[in-house]
Chains A and B, each alone.
Chain A
């Protein structure tokens, strides 16, 4: 086997794991083999990740360090350190949108072209705009930004408008905590997203193409800028008789600016707050011009539709949801990362087979981020599909999928998400601005051990009203995490309020810390670690001093320290109750 090229995953996830140092080291040490920086292939848990191309196919190495030992291992194509892509995972996944992500040089247009890039655009250039729209309609593609609105339909509205200026915006604000599908696409295959936008411009007659990307994505912005320059250089922005231009706007990071009318306001230089619709942006958007907004992943799908045809695209998926969906898999799984699955796989497949979570260790997933809801483990045979997720009280969302292990408290989980939305509310509507705050206060009271049944009733009453009385999707979905945990995990709320217990022992006010002395080897690590000196020489935790920081639990080599029910730990004389 002969090594032809070494590809180092240097997307944000790779960089976070130390890829920059690996790149520098490899470039310094290796002279005769080309080394390229690629994006993310989705196996983020294995970063820094290296793909070694040989004349007989590729070999992957995981968790590579800038060390001679690792370098030798790779150059020698040794078995040690290889990434084994588990068959359970590859059987569930269907890599389409991500096919080139992490496989080609992030900044090379040539490589994109060499791998079928811009074939979709080429086809589209030869088609009538209406036929492009028709093709997209036929594909059944629905918006990947969360709402799931049929993309072809949205484009047909914009196409139908007679106007001097028409705007097409790529929504790259990606504000949900934990989501990074869009970032990954823009970093790894910027041309694929831009090609989708150019096809959109052809289909709708859009004259200006905006990308609204959050400023926290510097690598995505850099790669997009490079790609746009390359497009200009190649003249790919000449769409038959006319020329379109891209404009890249860096957003200040407000979650609500992902909402389309807020985004338009922000692009206009105004405060990023949503406004009432109708009029819809396709009637009156950016500075009054007809405007359509699509998500990064939506655009990322478009070149595939044109290349393979709408019908072929629609062959994957369920009745109402076609194609594949990217998920940012996080939480209590063995293999967090980016996954691409066909619509119609079950939640269980993603959690257990792709994520590698152990059966029985998980009690729910939160899908759709802070706007979504939880799905309990006994409903994991639900399939990934816009409508069936909705019927369970969750949403497809943009693709955040957080796996919640048994040792997490669902009330605390709900509180965590609501804290995010309450903070991110634009502050305009009464229900959203004040209502989420009032709900958050009650959740804090409950997790703080002071909650009552009335507080739970308050949440159940106000939540649906906030949904009904809010202007935009933020307020209309903010109570979802609370409502869905109330629906499936009411017993956990009741345990907090009626029995003053946190079943998961996560809520600090409702749990104590205890060293189980029978297994303790008296190594003293816990005593040294405890920042508030709550552990005595006799290895007893004084819960009156302990701040429940978990440091000792994490450091104990024998795993003999744990949280226990409030009141069953030791309390010294120095305070506490």
Chain B
């Protein structure tokens, strides 16, 4: 050792001829690299390995710059970080690809959709269930009731306007393997958390804590657990026998105890829980029907109260007679279709805007119509009164005006358009509100006030689910619950909870894409979406039997073949993504034109996706210097520079199949095997 240099003011011995990077790595100083590769001569193209030579004031690529005695290197100053980040931002600004499939990004729980769809397609439904349960502890229920955020963003839409039936993969996987499946769990740590409310959020907090070795006691004011899954969502959409089976699994995991008929604020006090447990999670949902603010309102029944009563009776009840449901959301649909099943022959929905603005799922509206439900659009209630033992609802006609804050056009009354309708039952399903139990902080909407960063209300009290977000969906409750559980874990372990920054480069939403904008590993199969099979019409209007049937395994395989496998082949193995996350580089930091040099899938097993190429030049040198083939090279100059094969010929199929060396060295997903594992 003849030379001494300093890196970040610390002296290190070095050998003449060594690079700064070598010295840094030997001493545990990490410097990002992309184009550096020991197998080939230096390419020095990416410039993410920049360090500053303090003596000359110049930035030098550490992978290429050799040490000199007395050199003073800065590798960890804000200026150096900024240069590296800028290099990464620039690369991302011309990068097109999809780190993650859009379905996975769209799923609030970020379940690995593409992966479980692939396993389902291959018939490995147990493997699929395992992937699903990494993020979704309630796949039987969610597999039935999820509004399918993922499918709304599914890229298959670009091909034939119909998404892959993603949610049905969950349902089949769960239905097939629920009894046998058990997750791997960490041993108990001795810590215990109290959870108030055993709905989806509460159960999920318990689940993610348990996976990490933390036990919990769940308290619920109702006689049975499940929250809205049990007392809101009707039997014909989610049979309670299935829900029981799903919840039974939590008991099987051990360490999760559910205590019913225990209400916070009545039977329990938050201070006691706080004392007794390492943390408390509030997951009490949104259980109060919103008021319509019209005269005689008390004569109507609230949507969830209506359903709750029937649920408590085991999905039985009297014929409600002529029924009017006010509202256009999913709760309204559930009330309408439940009323049909209880024997009412005249069930009508009153909604103040038009069908296009209805917040309910399209499929729900469609199925309600099939079951004989009538719709009155552009009407709003004015007054409700009782006359001769029956109800009389006075309504007025509406017309659509200017768009409101939600972007939907605001209904405005048509003067002198009042009319009366006689009914036996009027249900107001116009929204729900959270009732914050005693000792729980509420914000101006009545929801529990928590920190956005760590889901904490105060001290060791956390919250999740509808009671934080306001009425939402099961999968959102589950997603929030996971975050809350991780935040609780962090506090228990005395760590700071910080959600990692995950880079996602995206080609964009399918709505703005054409087939030419996409990269297909192979030609997409021509096949329409497998239709969902339903029970006979007669059973639908007379019983609470589950309306839809689970796909068969053969159907799931056929459906899985429709997936075009959108995510990057280099998932989990991309240095650009890794460094971008470390340096918080963003794809939209420096927007500008993205070049489109297309992709090459002519080789049966290899893809060259130029949109992801960072022009590091490694493949060119690997093929030239290591393999001695020179099958790859750069074309054109400036922003038009891109990798191509020699004379634009396809890569030789046998030679490259056996070699694949360039693929192994490509730092991103530009040169890769087509086959995804």
- Give residues in A with beta carbon < 8 Å to B: 254, 256, 271, 273, 275-276, 278, 422-431, 433-438, 441, 462, 465, 468-471
Contacts and interface: CB of A to CB of B under 8 A. Distances in A.
Nearest to B624: A270
A427 B640 contact: yes
B83 A434 contact: no
A427 B44 contact: no
Contacts of B64: 276
Given A271-B634, A427-B639, A438 B615 contact: no
Given A276-B64, A434-B91, A424 B44 contact: no
Contacts of A430: 45-48, 87, 90-91, 614-615
B59 A438 contact: no
A315 to B, nearest CB: 33
A431 B641 CA distance: 14
B441 interface: no
A427 B90 contact: no
A435 B636 CA distance: 17
Given A276-B42, A469-B47, A424 B637 contact: yes
A427 B59 CA distance: 19
Contact of A437 (B91, B617, B639): B639
Nearest to A274: B44
Nearest to A427: B641
Given A428-B44, A438-B90, A438-B590, 14 more contacts: A276-B42, A276-B64, A424-B638, A425-B638, A427-B615, A429-B46, A430-B87, A430-B614, A437-B94, A438-B93, A469-B47, A469-B50, A469-B83, A471-B45
Interface string B596-639: 00000000000000000011010000000000000001101111
A433 B59 contact: no
Main SS at interface, chain A: helix
A433 B58 contact: no
Contact of B44 (A435, A436, A438, A471): A471
20 contacts: A254-B637, A271-B634, A273-B634, A276-B42, A276-B65, A424-B638, A425-B637, A426-B637, A427-B636, A427-B638, A427-B640, A428-B617, A429-B45, A430-B46, A435-B90, A437-B94, A437-B592, A438-B90, A438-B93, A462-B590
A434 B94 contact: yes
B399 interface: no
A278 B614 CA distance: 24
A430 B616 CA distance: 9
Contacts of A271: 633-634
Contact of B59 (A273, A425, A441, A469): A469
Contacts of A468: 50, 58-59, 83
B86 interface: yes
B380 to A, nearest CB: 43
B308 interface: no
A546 B485 CA distance: 66
A273 B638 CA distance: 11
Nearest to A255: B637
B404 interface: no
B15 interface: no
B577 to A, nearest CB: 16
Contacts of A435: 90
Contacts of B83: 465, 468-469
Contacts of B638: 422-427, 433, 436-437
Interface in B72-123: 82-83, 86-87, 90-91, 93-94
Nearest to B65: A276
A154 to B, nearest CB: 20
A465 B48 CA distance: 12
A470 B58 CA distance: 11
Nearest to B641: A427
A275 B47 contact: no
Contacts of B590: 438, 462
Contacts of B42: 275-276
A276 B637 CA distance: 18
**Most chain A CB neighbours (cut-off 10 Å) among B44, B46, B90, B91:** B90
B376 to A, nearest CB: 46
B593 interface: yes
Interface of B: 42-48, 50, 58-59, 61, 64-66, 82-83, 86-87, 90-91, 93-94, 590, 592-593, 614-615, 617, 633-634, 636-641
Contacts of A256: 637
A423 B46 CA distance: 19
Given A276-B61, A278-B66, A471-B44, A431 B639 contact: no
A278 B46 CA distance: 18
B33 to A, nearest CB: 13
A358 B118 CA distance: 76
A428 B639 contact: no
Q: Which 8 A-B pairs have the closest CB atoms?
A: A427-B641, A276-B44, A434-B90, A276-B64, A437-B639, A425-B638, A468-B59, A428-B45
Contacts of B66: 278
A422 B90 contact: no
Contacts of A422: 638-639
Contacts of B48: 430
A398 to B, nearest CB: 20
Contacts of B615: 427-428, 430, 433
Given A437-B592, A438-B93, A441-B592, A431 B87 contact: yes
B86 A433 contact: no
B86 A465 contact: yes
Contacts of B82: 465
A489 to B, nearest CB: 24
Contacts of B61: 276, 471
A428 B45 CA distance: 5
Contacts of B617: 428
A423 B91 CA distance: 18
Contacts of B87: 430-431, 469
Nearest to A256: B637
A433 B641 contact: yes
A431 B637 CA distance: 14
A471 B614 CA distance: 16
Contacts of A423: 637-638
A430 B590 CA distance: 13
Contacts of B614: 430
Given A254-B637, A427-B636, A275 B44 contact: yes
B45 A437 contact: no
Nearest to A435: B90
Nearest to B638: A425
Given A434-B93, A437-B639, A441-B592, A427 B50 contact: no
A426 B44 CA distance: 13
Contacts of A471: 44-45, 47, 61
Contacts of B58: 468
Contacts of A431: 47, 86-87, 90
Nearest to B590: A438
Given A271-B633, A438-B90, A433 B44 contact: no
**Most chain B CB neighbours (cut-off 10 Å) among A423, A430, A465:** A430
Contacts of A441: 592-593
Contacts of A429: 44-47
**Most chain B CB neighbours (cut-off 10 Å) among A428, A434, A438:** A434
A438 B634 CA distance: 21
**Most chain A CB neighbours (cut-off 10 Å) among B636, B638, B640:** B638
A543 to B, nearest CB: 29
A431 B47 CA distance: 8
Contacts of A436: 638
**Most chain A CB neighbours (cut-off 10 Å) among B42, B45, B65, B615:** B45
A463 B593 CA distance: 18
A433 B90 CA distance: 9
Nearest to A441: B592
Contacts of B45: 428-430, 471
B634 to A, nearest CB: 6
